[in-house]
Amino acid sequence: MCGKRPSTILTDQDHAMAAALSVVMPETFHGLCTFHIRSNFMKHLGNHYKENSDLPYMFGACMYEFEEVEQFNRVWEAMVKKHNLENNEWLSGLYRIRDKWARCMMKERWTAGMRSTQLSESLNAAIKNHLKLDHDLVQFFRHFNRVVDEKRHNELIAEYEMRQNLPMVGLRQTPILVHASETYSPTVFVAFQNEYGESTAMIILRQQDAAMIVEFAVMRYDGGPERIVVFNRNDLSVRCSCKKYENEGILCGHALKVFDTVGIKIIPPEYIKRRWTKRARAGECFDRRRREVVADPKIMISTRYRELAPAMIKVATRAAMSEDTSKVAITVISDLAKRVELLLSESEEQPLQNQKNLNMEERDKVEIVNEMGEAVVVRE
Ligand SMILES: [Zn+2]
């Protein structure tokens, strides 16, 4: 992975994977998928709670809500006692590995905000949609490639739209929001904007100065937990006790409140994770032998073809409605063809019909649309 090890791997509590990860990737944090833990909870403890029982809520709070270890331990002990679970082996075993799934134990671990194996599960589901039991290995890989190509195509469209449209910024006079809108991808910008909104609800309870270090106690105006934000005047760094930045890579409302207080009006570069920016895919990538990884030209050609073909067919469908429009279309298409050939002869790219690399399967999958934009033929 470009010479880097993953910081975190989430699994579904598979013992063989746990053993292998501790040997092969000892520096990588191994977390457990909370979706699978909840499923196992129902399997092992389903008979322990009746209607209106607070057992699942107490368990869920221990997993997702508590940020402090003391709070987690207090509620866990109360839950075990109240529901007579002292001798439940599954629950005792889960408690022993709480550093892999309890929020309070994981808040300093980088997870990009994920707590489950959602990404691999959604890929599994997408592949299953294209598979049948009687497919052989070649058919499997053909369908697998289609799923991967489809995902890459969607990614390209999302990237194109992101470059064309800036997200709506409610407060155009707020420099840090404008900076965030120009920097982050649309999804991350919304998350950042929410944190900025939170920061406006924060108050500073007290402030302690010690040379270059300033310690702020920050809390929401209407209550909630108190957070300690440590600001360093020397390097303008900030650390909040909620650990949102360490965990998700987005500054929290507490830290943004302190930045605003000390007069920092744009996001300092060291707090911009490249993976959350519009430039996440830019730059060079090397494999483990230090060879540069380049984008697959076949995918680029078929992606462009998929965008162009329906547009051209749509024009042809409309132009065919009358002789005049048909003549105009032929003249324009003839000029267009000459310009395309000229440009191709000037560049290194070859004309489409001579491209041996063009994936014919991809071409055959293209939808033909009518003038209303509806699919009328799907070549398969
Ligand atoms: Zn915070």
- Asked if 301 and 344 sit in the same domain, the reply is yes
The pLDDT of residue 295 is: 59
Judged against a pLDDT cut of 50, whether residue 325 lies above it is answered with: yes
Cα-to-centroid distance, 359 and ligand 1 (Å): 50
Q: Is 170 within the bounds of a domain?
A: no
Judged against a pLDDT cut of 50, whether residue 340 lies above it is answered with: yes
CA distance 33 to 156: 29
Tell me the range of 14-18, 197-201, 223-227, 307-311 where mean pLDDT is highest.
197-201
Confidence band of 211 (pLDDT split at 50, 70, 90): confident
Cα-to-centroid distance, 241 and ligand 1 (Å): 6
- 135's enclosing H/E stretch is none
What would the 3-class secondary structure string for 199-243 be?
HHCEEEEEEEEECCEEEEEEEECCCCCCEEEEEECCCCCEEECCC
Instruction: Report the DSSP pairing between strands 202-210 and 213-220.
Output: antiparallel
Q: Is 93 within the bounds of a domain?
A: yes
Q: Which two tokens stand for residue 182?
A: 């120009």
CA distance 184 to 194: 13
Whose tokens are 């944090």? That residue is 29
What residues make up the domain containing 71?
8-116
CA distance 209 to 229: 12
Cα-to-centroid distance, 245 and ligand 1 (Å): 8
- Asked if 197 and 111 sit in the same domain, the reply is no
Cα-to-centroid distance, 351 and ligand 1 (Å): 56
Q: Is 148 within the bounds of a domain?
A: yes
- Asked if 54 and 91 sit in the same domain, the reply is yes
The pLDDT of residue 283 is: 64
Residue % of the chain over a pLDDT of 70:
83
Cα-to-centroid distance, 31 and ligand 1 (Å): 22
Q: Is 311 within the bounds of a domain?
A: yes
Mean pLDDT, residues 152-180 taken together: 79
- Asked if 14 and 109 sit in the same domain, the reply is yes
Single-letter residue type at 86 = E
The pLDDT of residue 293 is: 61
Cα-to-centroid distance, 28 and ligand 1 (Å): 25
Cα-to-centroid distance, 277 and ligand 1 (Å): 21
Cα-to-centroid distance, 38 and ligand 1 (Å): 27
Q: Which long-range contacts (CB under 8 A, 24 or more apart) does 55-59 make?
A: 55/79, 55/83, 58/82
How high is the mean pLDDT of the chain?
Answer: 83
- Asked if 20 and 101 sit in the same domain, the reply is yes
Q: How many helices (H) and strands (E) does the chain have?
A: 15, 8
pLDDT tens per residue across span 61-92 = 999 999 889 999 999 999 999 999 999 999 99
How many other C-beta atoms can be found within 10 angstroms of the C-beta atom of residue 380?
A: 6
Mean pLDDT, residues 173-190 taken together: 90
CA terminus-to-terminus distance, the chain: 36
Non-local (6+) Cβ contacts of 9 within 8 A are 21, 25, 28, 29, 30, 31
Non-local (6+) Cβ contacts of 39 within 8 A are none
Q: Is 207 within the bounds of a domain?
A: yes
How many other C-beta atoms can be found within 10 angstroms of the C-beta atom of residue 250?
A: 23
The pLDDT of residue 118 is: 81
Confidence band of 288 (pLDDT split at 50, 70, 90): low
Smallest Cα–Cα separation from 74: which of 84, 92, 62, 57?
A: 62
- Asked if 220 and 246 sit in the same domain, the reply is yes
Cα-to-centroid distance, 66 and ligand 1 (Å): 14
The pLDDT of residue 276 is: 93
Mean pLDDT, residues 171-192 taken together: 88
Single-letter residue type at 333 = I
What single DSSP character describes residue 32?
E
Cα-to-centroid distance, 101 and ligand 1 (Å): 20
**DSSP line for 284-296:** --B-TTSPBP---
- Asked if 369 and 317 sit in the same domain, the reply is yes
Cα-to-centroid distance, 273 and ligand 1 (Å): 17
Cα-to-centroid distance, 248 and ligand 1 (Å): 11
Residue 380 or 155, more confident: 155
Domain boundary among 244, 276, 308: 276
Cα-to-centroid distance, 282 and ligand 1 (Å): 30
- Asked if 56 and 110 sit in the same domain, the reply is yes
Residue % of the chain over a pLDDT of 90:
46
Judged against a pLDDT cut of 60, whether residue 179 lies above it is answered with: yes
Single-letter residue type at 167 = P
Domain boundary among 214, 241, 276: 276
Domain count of the chain?
A: 4
Cα separations in angstroms, 146 against 128, 131, 310, 361 = 12, 11, 19, 10
Cα-to-centroid distance, 205 and ligand 1 (Å): 14
Cα-to-centroid distance, 243 and ligand 1 (Å): 6
Cα-to-centroid distance, 138 and ligand 1 (Å): 51
Mean pLDDT, residues 324-336 taken together: 92
Q: Which two tokens stand for residue 49?
A: 């709670």
Cα-to-centroid distance, 6 and ligand 1 (Å): 25
Cα-to-centroid distance, 255 and ligand 1 (Å): 6
Return the bridge partners of 215, or none: 208, 230
Are the CB atoms for 183 and 171 separated by under 8 Å? no
Q: Is 245 within the bounds of a domain?
A: yes
Cα-to-centroid distance, 251 and ligand 1 (Å): 7
Cα-to-centroid distance, 27 and ligand 1 (Å): 26
The pLDDT of residue 162 is: 77
Residue 302 or 239, more confident: 239
The pLDDT of residue 69 is: 93
Q: Is 86 within the bounds of a domain?
A: yes
The pLDDT of residue 145 is: 87
- Asked if 156 and 181 sit in the same domain, the reply is no
- Asked if 112 and 29 sit in the same domain, the reply is yes
Cα-to-centroid distance, 104 and ligand 1 (Å): 14
- Angle among Cα 297, 333, 338 to the nearest 5 degrees reads 65
Q: Is 317 within the bounds of a domain?
A: yes
Single-letter residue type at 117 = T
The pLDDT of residue 77 is: 96
**Cα-based torsion angle of the residue sequence 267, 273, 279, 280 in order, rounded to the nearest 10 degrees:** -160
Judged against a pLDDT cut of 80, whether residue 203 lies above it is answered with: yes
Residue 40 or 156, more confident: 40
Q: Which two tokens stand for residue 246?
A: 């360490």
Confidence band of 107 (pLDDT split at 50, 70, 90): confident
pLDDT tens per residue across span 134-161 = 888 888 888 888 888 888 888 888 877 7
- Asked if 187 and 239 sit in the same domain, the reply is yes
In the chain, the DSSP E strands lie at: 8-11, 29-32, 202-210, 213-220, 227-232, 238-240, 367-369, 375-378
Domain boundary among 210, 241, 276: 276
Is residue 244 classed as helix, strand or coil in its secondary structure?
helix
Cα-to-centroid distance, 172 and ligand 1 (Å): 24
Cα-to-centroid distance, 178 and ligand 1 (Å): 21
Cα-to-centroid distance, 76 and ligand 1 (Å): 25
- Angle among Cα 45, 46, 51 to the nearest 5 degrees reads 125
CA distance 297 to 304: 11
Judged against a pLDDT cut of 80, whether residue 354 lies above it is answered with: no
Cα-to-centroid distance, 53 and ligand 1 (Å): 33
- Asked if 262 and 306 sit in the same domain, the reply is no
Judged against a pLDDT cut of 80, whether residue 375 lies above it is answered with: no
Single-letter residue type at 166 = L
